[in-house]
Structure 1
Amino acid sequence: MAWFRREHGFSRTELGTIVGRCAASVASYEQGLRKPPRPLLLNLLDAVPVGHTSFNDLACWYRYRPITTIDPAEYRSIHEYLGLFRVGRTGLEPVTEGL
């Protein structure tokens, strides 16, 4: 996350504002003390697109399972499956862009 922040010239406070976290949380993600939740990574990619970077590119850094399908039978829990979606203007939208 630090490379992303520096690449775009954000302070920890500015990046925290973009993703809805405090500067201390951003610092703990950068230092590897905490793992950012998946929705935070998705919000980050939505707020500040990074070329052809997708969720799966970031997922491997934080040891999240990459998105390969939206078939619920392929996931260990309903929580893991629902992490693939977000509420959009028209209801639930799959988070598969960039894949």
Structure 2
Amino acid sequence: MKVNTQAINFNADPQLLEFIQKRMNKLETYYDKVIQSEVYLKVEKTRNKLNKVFEAKINVPGDSFVVKKQCKTFEEGVDGAVASLERQLKKRKQKLQENFKNIS
């Protein structure tokens, strides 16, 4: 899956981009009809330690899913967002299968 990653107001480390790509690729095991995915990385200027914002948008036929996580590290945000997207994609796939059974 092609992941378009945008780091806002900073340059993302190549290791971080590779980590994001690997984790996002795992989503295809749950739902193989992902059209496109976009990732936004932001660092907020606050005194709060939770200043890293990870936002992911995934487009599938007829729908899109958006997840936003705010954490101490981007890796933590990626893990949380991917877990949430996994649940959403599984639910979508199950719903489509149930609709297909009802039609048949």
TM-score (norm 1): 0.23
Higher relative CO (Cα under 8 Å, sequence separation at least 6) belongs to 2
TM-score (norm 2): 0.23
Q: Which has the larger radius of gyration?
A: 2
